[in-house]
Amino acid sequence: MNAPLSQVRIVRLHLPLGGGRTQKLEVIETEGMTLLGAMRQVRGTLPPTWLDSFPCHAGACNTCSILIGSTPGVPCNALVRDLGEDISLAPGKHSRGWDALRDDARKVHG
């Protein structure tokens, strides 16, 4: 059984929708949570524009990138505890060569 966290923290992810609009999603931070884990927690409520640009879902390859604030970062390595309570995100660029491996039916890497 997991011991409860001494303090529950709600983190807000701010995702661009286009036209200057953003979507705010709230996540309950867990111990050692990465940004990839936070995005998995809200996977069902991600904007449609994010479903195609969502990271690899595996956290193993370090080939995907998103903008965290205005800085490129890798979501599987970014710890939520280091990013504050309001985190602005934007789709980044996949490393060269990975776009050809994407499976458009599943919207993830093949």
pLDDT digits (tens, 9 = 90+) for 28-61: 999 999 988 898 888 888 776 666 555 555 555 6
Give the integer Cα–Cα distance in Å for 67 and 103.
23
Cα 54 from Cα 64, distance rounded (Å): 9
pLDDT tens-digit profile of 46-55? 776 666 555 5
Q: Does residue 101 sit in helix, strand or coil?
A: helix
Nearest to 50 by CA among 73, 26, 17, 14: 17
- Report whether 96 contacts 77 (CB < 8 A): no
* CA-to-CA dists, residue 25 to 16, 38, 40, 41, 96, angstroms: 11, 10, 12, 10, 30
- The answer, as to whether pTM is greater than 0.75, is no
pLDDT of residue 56: 59
pLDDT bin (cut points 50, 70, 90) of residue 24 is very high
